Each structure stands twice: as C-alpha cells, then as structure tokens.
Structure 1
C-alpha cells in the first residue's frame, strides 16, 4: 500500500496517471496540489488555488512515492524564464517536497534529447533538471524520456503538423501515447529496483 504525491495532475500525462492511481488498489492516498481544483475522488487530497511552490511547502503528511509530470514549452510559458520556472524549478520543488515527506522513489517525465550541454533551451533545461535530480541522491530515481506525446484533445499547431512524421519515425523518435507514458510510470513505481533508471521513448510503446 502506498501514499503518493503527484504534480502536474491537470496536464496530459499527469491526468492519465491520476486516473490510473485512482483505480489502483495499491494506492491508498493521492496528494495532488494544483492551481485549479480537480474532480473530487475518495483517495484524492487536492490542495489548490495558489502557487505550486507554496502548496508543496504546506504539505505535511508522509508519502512513499513522488511523481512529477510537470512540463510546458517556451511559447506556452511566455518566456525562457517562465519555461525554466516550470520545467526546472517546480520539478526540483516537487522532488524536494517528496523527499521531505519521506518518499523513497521519484519518477519524473523528462523528454527525448535531454542534455545539459544542448544548445537548445528545451533539451538543455531537461538535461539540467535530470542532473539536479541525480544530485539529490534518491534511493530510486526513474526518468522517463518520451518523444512527441499523443492524446491531447486540442493538439498544438506544431504537433498537428509534425504528428504524421513522428508516427513514421523509427525507434525512440516515434511519437508515443500519453496513456503509455502514464502506465509506464505506474508500472515502474511498483516494480523492484534501485538507483537511477532511464526509460527511453521506444520502451514506452508496449507499456499497456
């Protein structure tokens, strides 16, 4: 039985994962801080209505596992600084909150091409985020690196244009369903292991 913390529960992957957690008998409680209120559920504790960092700081009940499904783009965020706030600073805050509350396993949605030395802001930020998580010395850390995500009700313009191409690409570059990413996170959370594990995108297609 496990109590879990999840950030990004209102997003694409996070929303899929939240449904899986609610249905899983291994999960006894779900702590999901969000800006806007989520649909109530018997297992769900949903502090909401404020800055995520403040909501995380206010948590005081122990958890066993922390999932971080936060993610945006520079265009969505409005600036490079706002993008890094979500994809780096809030990810770090989520992990540290989980650590403070006793979690032994941290699972994070990163991205294909994550590299702290990349010239591209998105890939560099994801790589720096992974590097910083490793430095937290988790007993167990799982980093999932999906390619283009499928499953949005209203795909972004670039996703609509790129989706046919990404569906044809080989291996880890092929697009992947958000449901498969969520299922992988859940499976990894309750499987045996220790240390750092990286799950590349081509390992996600057969998750269900």
Structure 2
C-alpha cells in the first residue's frame, strides 16, 4: 500500500486519476492539495487554498508516489507570467514538496512537443519544466506527453473543440487521446515494477498502456 500526493486533481486528467486511485486498493492515503475544495470525494486529505503552494505546505505525512497533473493554457491563465507560474513553478513546487516528504517516484503530465528549444511558448515552458525535474535527479521520474486531450472540461476550450475532430483522424502520437486513458496509463506506470531513471512516454504509448497492449 502506498501513500500518494496528487496536484491538479480538479483538472481533466487529475480528476480521472484521483477517482481511479481511491478504489484501487493500492493506496492507503491520498493527499490532494487544490486551489478550491474537492466536491463529493471522500477519503482524501484535501487542503485547499487559492495559492496552491500554501495548500501544498499543509501536507505533512510521508509520501511514496507523487503525481502532478497541473496544466492550463496561456489564454486561461491570462498572461505569460501566470502560465509560467501554473505550468512551471507550481509543478516544480509539487516535486520539491514530494521529495521532502520522501517520494521516490514522480509522475508528471507534460505535452507532446515539449522542448526547451521550441519556438512555441507553450512547448518551451513545458520543456523547461521537464528539464527542471530531470535536474532534481529523481530515483524514478515518469514524464507523459499526451497529444490533444479529449474529455469533458468544466471550462470550455475553444481551440480544442475546433481542432478535436482533426486530431482524432491523425496517426501515431498526433492522434488525440482521452484524458481517462492518460490517467489510466499513469496509474499503471506508478505501480509497475520499478525502473530507475527518467522515462518519457509519448501519446501513442500512453494509449497502448491504458489499453493493456504494452
């Protein structure tokens, strides 16, 4: 039985993951710090504060595995600075908190195309986030890079609804992926036999893992 930390539990992937972890029988403690309280979910320690860093600081119990499913868009965040805070700073804060609490395995949602050298702002921030986590020298670090996520969001994303039909027709890593499949793959990886070092899982592989084909 494991003790788990998860951030981003109110988001598309994170909410699926949290609801999979609770009945899994694999964990005996879940800490899910959030900006706003989780509704209708029992058996989870849910410190909440508009400043997620403050909510993270309320987690004191030992942790074995940490998941970070934080993610937004520049449009949703409101500015470049707010996007960097959400998709870089808070991710790194999650990792630092998890390390301090004893976690050995960190799993994070990144994005297809993440690269420090990308000409695209979104992918460049994601690449810098990955590099920061790798520099922390985790015993085990799993980075998942999904393509466009499918699923019901609380907040409608116009670009996703516009391009979703196209991305469902694309091959390989470009093909859109259900958020619940990303969550399912992350959970399988978290409790799979230990592989030390950094593992980067592209979108097509996530789909295979979720469906039990890998």
Q: TM-score if structure 1 supplies the norm length?
A: 0.97
Does residue 180 of structure 1 match 2:184? Answer: no
Aligned residues of 1:28 and 1:43 also touching (Cα < 8 A): no
Partner of 1:93: 93
Deviates more, 1:145-154 or 1:75-84: 145-154
Change (3 A) 1:158 1:40: closer
Give the 3-state SS of the residue equivalent to 2:207 in structure 1. coil
Which residue is equivalent to 1:204?
Answer: 206
1:157 maps to: 158
TM-score with structure 2 setting the length: 0.94
Deviation at 1:57? 2.0
Deviations 1:123-169 (A, max 9, x none): 00000000000000100000000000001246411111101110011
What per-residue deviation string (whole Å, max 9, x for no partner) do you get for residues 51-105 of structure 1?
1111112321101000000000000000000000000000000000000000000
CA contact 2:185–2:207 (8 Å) conserved in 1: no
Name the Cα RMSD after superposition.
Answer: 1.1
How many residue pairs get aligned? The number is 208
Q: Secondary structure at the match of 2:183?
A: helix
Cα separation, 2, equivalents of 1:49 and 1:89: 16
Unmatched 5+ stretches in structure 2? none
Give the distance between the partners of 2:39 and 2:14, measured in 1 at CA.
14
